Amino acid sequence: MTFHSFLIKYGEIGIKGKNRYMFEDALVRQIRYALKEVEGEFLVHKCHGRVYVDCEGEYDYEETIESLKKVFGIVGICPVVRKPVKELEELKKDVVVYMGEMYPEGDKTFKVEARRANKRYPVNSMEINCALGEAVLDAYPEMKVEVHHPDVRLNVEIREEIYLYSEIIPGPGGMPVGTNGSAMLLLSGGIDSPVAGYMIAKRGVEIEAVYFHAPPYTSERAKEKVIDLARLVSAYAGPIKLHIVNFTDIQLAIYEKCPHDELTIIMRRYMMRIAEQFAKKDGCLGLITGESIGQVASQTMQSLAATNAVCTLPVYRPLIGFDKREIVEISEKIDTYETSIQPFEDCCTIFVAKHPVTKPNVERIEKSELNLSENIEELVKTAVETAEVITVGK
């Protein structure tokens, strides 16, 4: 079966008036982005309060569906067969062919749901339903009509063309990226932070990212891995502006001057401070991390409080109540898992203490940080100024 268009279904709750336009425009933009590298030519447009993807000529069906399944805001994707407007007798033939090709095994219950948007069509919806239903029953005696819970709802829409569709392929849900401001993701090479970015992007938030590396303690390969992860997340989130910060001197200073059991927390606090600088500069409305309560020493409630204390922007931690197993499940689903588990060290593992504090006290941490006062401001300034900035995505 050749489909000529896709009707895009989206959740409509709460998107009335002005919001509706913003939502639809963002959806159209994100669909165009998703289809950018798919083989074929596509026309994405709004029409009568709906969003359609029209396929102009040959295209790769599987790839198109895979790409559309990554567009947040899409609830369902209906592959549509388009026919020129024709008389009912001719339309019956098309519908019989359609049902035969879509459901070759035949044993389905069905219901025809005609809509006559083009009122010049001489037959009304009820009559179309009856005539087409009868034609299908005549052609396929094993099929049965079922009006309440049919296996197949055959939609027949009479517009400037006739649209036939009956399948709904589930989309990812959520809101189109670009409808809810932007936020700065602290992206490491681990399993959690790419999932965290995905989850916030799913709510319509545009994502930027920051990665802290510590050459030569962390390798070029570790950095490449983070760029790969950003690219995988960008398949959903759209292009991601990634800041790559050289964190070595700051880490060495902390290592030299602060108690070793507090290293991770102090390091994390500097990551947050720097991430926040980039965030504010670009107008991001929050930070995102992949933290989850109790996962490691630096993610106890006390540790999270100590890390949080340096931030003035809201910190979004979408994985906060998730078990590792649940996070792994999502990372597999969104295809970041295999990349995340590649064994390249991240900068935290080099400088970790054998016995990190699990209940840090903010005042004590602040006191320890005073040991850095001589040159930390300068080091932070240099780290910010020398950050490499790249945009990842199609």
Annotate each residue in 331-370 with x if it binds Mg ion (CB under 5 A) or - if it does not, as one string. Answer: ----------------------------------------
192 forms part of the interface with ligand ATP (CB under 6 A): yes
In the list ligand ATP, Mg ion, none, the entry touching 192 (Cβ below 5 to 8 angstroms by class) is ligand ATP
Helices and strands of the chain, counted as H and E runs: 14, 15
Cβ partners under 8 Å of residue 146, min gap 6 = 109, 110, 111
User: Which residues within the stretch 174-213 sit at the binding site for Mg ion (CB under 5 A)?
Assistant: 188, 190
Identify the residue among 74, 154, 191, 265 touching ligand ATP (CB under 6 A). 191
346 forms part of the interface with ligand ATP (CB under 6 A): yes
Identify the residue among 59, 121, 211, 278 touching ligand ATP (CB under 6 A). 211
DSSP secondary structure code for residue 262 in this structure? G
What stretches of the chain show up as alpha helix (H) in DSSP?
17-35, 61-68, 88-102, 125-139, 192-201, 220-237, 248-257, 263-281, 301-308, 324-333, 337-340, 347-350, 362-370, 376-385
> Of 188 and 331, which CB lies nearer to Mg ion in the complex structure?
188
298 forms part of the interface with ligand ATP (CB under 6 A): yes
Q: How far apart are CA 360 and CA 349, in angstroms?
A: 19
Identify the residue among 64, 188, 331, 368 touching ligand ATP (CB under 6 A). 188
295 forms part of the interface with ligand ATP (CB under 6 A): yes
Beta strand pairing call for 169-170 and 315-316 = unpaired
| CA-based nearest residue to 296, from 192, 368, 390 | 192
One DSSP character per residue, 28-65 reads HHHHHHHHTTSSEEEEEEEETTEEEEEEEEEE-HHHHH
Annotate each residue in 270-289 with x if it binds ligand ATP (CB under 6 A) or - if it does not, as one string. Answer: -x-----------------x
* Cβ-based neighbour number of residue 326 at 10 Å: 13
Report how many residues bind ligand ATP under the rule CB under 6 A: 21
In the list Mg ion, ligand ATP, none, the entry touching 135 (Cβ below 5 to 8 angstroms by class) is none
Which residues sit at the interface with ligand ATP, rule CB under 6 A?
186-188, 190-193, 210-212, 271, 289-291, 295-296, 298-299, 346-348
Which residues sit at the interface with Mg ion, rule CB under 5 A?
188, 190
